[in-house]
Every structure is written in C-alpha cells, then in structure tokens.
Amino acid sequence: MTPATATAAPPRVLIVDDETGILDSLRILLRTEGFEPHVAQGGRQGLERLPELRPDIVLTDVRMPDVSGVQVLSGARQVDPETPVILMTAQATLQSAVQAVNEGAFYYIQKPFRNDELIAILRRAAEHRRLRVENQTLKQEIRRRDANEARRPIGRSKSWLEVLRLAETVAPTDSTVLITGESGTGKEVIARYIHELSARGDQSFLSINCGALPESLLESELFGHVKGSFTGAVKDKTGLFAAANQGTFFLDEIGETTASTQVKLLRVLQQREVIPVGATEAVSVDTRVLAATNRDLEEEIKRGSFRADLFYRLNVIAVHLPPLRQRADDIPVLAQSFLEASAAARGDTLKELGEDTLDALMAYSWPGNVRELENALERAVILSAGNVITADALPERVTARRAEPLVAERTPETPTLEAIERAYIQWVLRNEGGNKSRAADMLGIDPSTLYRKLARYGES
C-alpha cells in the first residue's frame, strides 16, 4: 500500500449550485488553490454526477429549485458514506444546514463567506477524507494478510485456488456475487470469506435459507413488517436486509424463492431500499448481497421459475465451486484439517489416516462433497479405537465403491472422456483378473475393439 497515491492527486470536488455565476467563480477559485473542481448545475445534476465521479468532497448549496442540498447530502452518503459534504447556506436555510450537520454533513458555511474561509474548510475536508481512505486501505491490507494465513478456506487443487483468487478479487468491491455449486461444496464458506475480506468485514454477516420458510414468513424476515400488517404481527419487525445494513446479507438457496419474493428482491437490488410488509414508506439500505444456489438458474429461467432480470442482478460476479470429485487433490488437506479440528474439539490426540483409508477417500465420488467428507471423518474418528483410522471405519458406501471409475485415475480436475474410458477399462480388466475376453464381455464391446483400445493406450 502506498498512502502517497491517496495524496498525490488533487482532491476532486463536486460543486453543486443552481447559479452559474457562483459555479464559475468557485471553479476558478478551487482550481487555483490546487483542487480539481467539477460542477453540477442544480441538485438533480449533482445527484446524477455522483456515482461516476465519486468525488472526494461535495460542496453544495442548500436551497436549489429542483433537488435540495440536503438531498444531495444523502445521495453522496449512499454512494460513499465517507465523502465529506459541505453545505453553503443562506440565513433562511441555516436551520436545515445545522440539522444536516447533525445528520452527518461535514460542515456548513454561511453565505456570504470569504474565499480563504472556504478554502480552509475544503483543506480540512480533504485531509479528513485522505485519512479515512488511508485507514480503510490499511484495514483491508491487514485483513487480507490475516485471511491469507488463518481464514483461507482449505484446499490446494488448481480449481479451488482459482475460486479463492476470484473471491479475494471481488471481496473488496461492493459487487453482488452469485455462488453456485453442488450441495456441500462450501458455498457458505466462500460467502463468509468474501465478507471477511471486504471493507464490511467487521460489520455483520447475516444469512437466510430461502428454501426453509413459506413465502409470507420469508418476506417478513427479509423485508420486515409493520405492526398489524397481518395476524401475528404484534409489533414492528426489522427485516434482515435492514439489520445487515453496512454489512453483508447472504441469500442462501435463492433458487427456492417464489415469483412474488423474486420481484421484491429485484426491487431491493435495483433501488437499494426495502418496503417492510404492510408499510408504505421505503427504507434505504446499504447492504451487500451475496447469493447462493445449487440449482442451475439459467435452466430455471428457461422453465419460467426464475426471473431473468433478477438473475442478471445477482450474477454480476459468478463464483462456481467445482464438486469435490473434480478436485480430489483437496481431499488429503481437507481430511487432515477435519482430523485436527476433531482432535481439538475432543481434547484428544490427533488420529492419522491409514494408507488404505486415504486411498478410499481419494477414490470415492463424494456426492455430498465436503460436508459428506467431514461427516465421514467425524464418524471414523469415533469408530477407530486406536490412533490410526482404518478403512473399515469409513461408511460402507465410501469403501464399497472404491473403484468408482470416474476418479480411479485420481484426476484432480475434470477428467477427459478418454481418461475416464481408460480408467474404466483398466478397472474392469483388474476385476476380471486380466482376462481380456471376459473384460470385453463386461464392457459390452468386441474383444478386437478392446485390443485396439489397449494398443492405443500402449497397454496391449
């Protein structure tokens, strides 16, 4: 990190006023004093320019015919809560300027003011801004370092390391992320990791399983409700979106939501505000949304059970977690970490895996992915009397299907069709004690075809 870069560029100041004369003179003043002025004529234009300009400081008149300076203030805080906003106020609007400062404006300056007075305030605002940015960058840096040591989700396969790298890249952005993958692949683990590495990492991480509640309950959990909006709504309730304000909200099993809930979610993502059930006023929220599903949402869109517009809102960044059978390289390190965790939790000595046991773990296809592995080992630790975990302590399905052809070659990544074919032929051959005509029979092919294939593999 180089704090110098934060100071090197002249601070960008967005000046908002409805009078062109004032805009012109302020622009000239600011430029000569080493700022980078941008102007917007009126509050509406000011609001429009905020998102792409992302100014370091906003200097705005309070009373303007279209949109007031107080509205510009709240717009600026939505774009970036750390932007100092300075209000220029006349006697008539002094009251609302004072109020605005109480609500987070950086300063107000009463008109008419002297140039040096304004410049002094702008300099202070710039310094304030610089410190905030520097502080945030530092915090993120520290967080990233911590994460790289302790919290990095376990795995060493190429595809898993790619997942982690992508998660680390998107974490500091405020982007919505859609995490996909089969059940038990670690979607929630990745969601938490993204949250922890983000600037929101020290705020709350809330989650909900959208498949676990009926529509009306889910909606009141998500958006909140007002007292009396339905039977049982005996008092106002804050929804999870609002409760996760400044933090991250994880929508698990998003594919399970109904059409009605999907419309409402879309609204939240577009407007960044929620309307509690039974309420008339929207509440604005600053919540980062992460979502996960084990369904193929594009398929669901085709079938009409998921809204395409919601999908595109969620899928700004897509992180796909490969199933464990496609990253068998992760199995030994995951197994080791589960054994360590189990020993620590039980206050027991660390048990180790027998060679056969590891072979069996590597050969199994793990339809339940990491969760199934974790459970299998937890059980094996309990069943093993000694310090070595033998294969017979594993669930039967794990050992029974040891020669599962898909992973017989232990390809860490997606195997090619040829690799599967080859592995499968070898497995059948072994099972048939090397007898090629019986193997061909088992495989349902002509012996000559088998010979040809073996010759191609260099194994005739």
- Least distance between ligand ATP and beta carbon 392 (Å): 24
Residue 293: alpha-carbon gap to chain centroid: 13
Listed residue (407, 402, 389, 423) closest to 157, CA to CA: 407
- Asked if residues 226 and 278 have their Cβ atoms less than 8 Å apart, the reply is yes
Quick check: 255 binds ligand ATP (CB under 6 A)?
no
Element (H, E) at 251: strand 248-252
Q: Which does 60 bind (CB under 5 to 8 A by kind): ligand ATP, Mg ion, none?
A: none
Beta carbon of residue 378, minimum distance to ligand ATP (angstroms, whole number): 10
- Collect all residues with Cβ–Cβ distance below 8 Å to 178 and sequence separation of at least 6: 254, 291, 292, 293, 297, 311, 314, 315, 316, 317, 318, 319
Sorted by sequence, the CB contacts under 8 Å of residue 123 that are 6+ apart come out as none
Does the protein bind ligand ATP through residue 186 (CB under 6 A)?
yes
182 in contact with Mg ion (CB under 5 A): no
Stretch that binds Mg ion, among 42-50, 188-196, 219-227, 317-325 (CB under 5 A): 188-196
Structure tokens at 337: 């970490």
Binding partner at 261 among Mg ion, ligand ATP, none, C-beta below 5 to 8 Å by kind: none
On the CB side of 344, CA atoms within 13 Å amount to 6
Residue 186 near which of Mg ion, ligand ATP, none (CB within 5-8 Å, type-dependent): ligand ATP
188 binds Mg ion (CB under 5 A): yes
The pair of structure tokens assigned to 433 is 């004690």
Closer to ligand ATP by Cβ: residue 123 or 371? 371
**Count of chain residues binding Mg ion (CB under 5 A):** 2
Q: Which two tokens stand for residue 334?
A: 């995951």
Asked if residues 170 and 319 have their Cβ atoms less than 8 Å apart, the reply is: yes
CB 357 within 8 A of CB 393: yes
Contact between 323 and ligand ATP by CB under 6 A: the answer reads no
Q: Of Mg ion, ligand ATP, none, which one sits near residue 183, judging by CB under 5 to 8 A according to partner kind? A: ligand ATP
* Lookup: tokens for 382: 């309990």
Q: Confirm if 369 and 361 have CB atoms less than 8 A apart.
A: no
37: contact with ligand ATP by CB under 6 A: no
The helix or strand, by DSSP H or E, that contains position 344, with its residue range, turns out to be helix 330-346
Q: 366-385: which residues touch ligand ATP (CB under 6 A)?
A: 370-371, 374
Q: Which is nearer to ligand ATP, 107 or 249 (CB)?
A: 249
Total of residues contacting ligand ATP (CB under 6 A): 15
Interface residue with ligand ATP among 46, 172, 184, 276 (CB under 6 A) is: 184
Binding partner at 155 among Mg ion, ligand ATP, none, C-beta below 5 to 8 Å by kind? ligand ATP
Smallest gap from residue 325 Cβ to ligand ATP (A): 14
Q: Which helix (H) or strand (E) holds 374?
A: helix 369-383
- Per-residue mark of binding to ligand ATP, 261-300 (x: CB under 6 A): ---------------------------------x------
| CB-CB contact of 371 with 380 (8 Å) | no
**Cβ 30 to ligand ATP, closest distance in Å?**
50
Task: Summarize as ranges the residues that interact with ligand ATP (CB under 6 A).
Answer: 153-155, 181, 183-189, 294, 370-371, 374
